[in-house]
Chains A and B, each alone.
Chain A
């Protein structure tokens, strides 16, 4: 069974803390994505990676960075968390060349106090 696993389902952090959200996929997919999901705004793309050590900014990259040192792992980093980063974060992966089907993790709900 194919799987995208996000390390934490729920996190509570304080303003200014550094936050790491980890995502691992077991499908040997080249492409990986980080979205945030907010009510009324749908899913917005933060960063994506076409392959190992490659990354590109999505629509809302400010305040975030990413790391892709291994093909199966894509990390989202909040260098200094702020309250407006309280959200649901979704990781997804996709095989290179397949434009449509993304496989999503279950999400990480982050609360910044």
Chain B
């Protein structure tokens, strides 16, 4: 079946530091990959996505590249801000999984001044 593994949190960074949150996956079929973000007190919202190998998704300064050879979709940002503090979820969907989204366990990011 499908599964997503994320690095454990919390990740604590100083403002303007470089961010990487690791995500690896196993999937049947041809998965599409996503990063969702959950700000405090809110529901999840889509941050970025990539639908095929070597695609790069980007939004709000965040990027992630779909690496089929390493089955990874790591989230990166060059310079984080306090307002980026949130929980980040990696997710995938595939035809082999009935097009349902499978989520990772989430990684909490705390950015301090």
- Chain A residues engaging chain B, CB cutoff 8 angstroms: 4, 35, 40-43, 45, 48, 58, 90, 92, 99-107
Contact = CB atoms under 8 A, between A and B. Distances in A.
B69 interface: no
A66 to B, nearest CB: 15
A63 B105 CA distance: 22
Interface of B: 32, 34, 41-46, 49, 51, 89, 93, 99-101, 103-106
Contacts, number: 46
A105 B45 CA distance: 9
B103 A106 contact: no
Contacts of A103: 45
B43 A105 contact: yes
Contacts of B45: 103-104
B32 A100 contact: yes
A29 to B, nearest CB: 14
A102 B105 contact: no
A99 B99 contact: yes
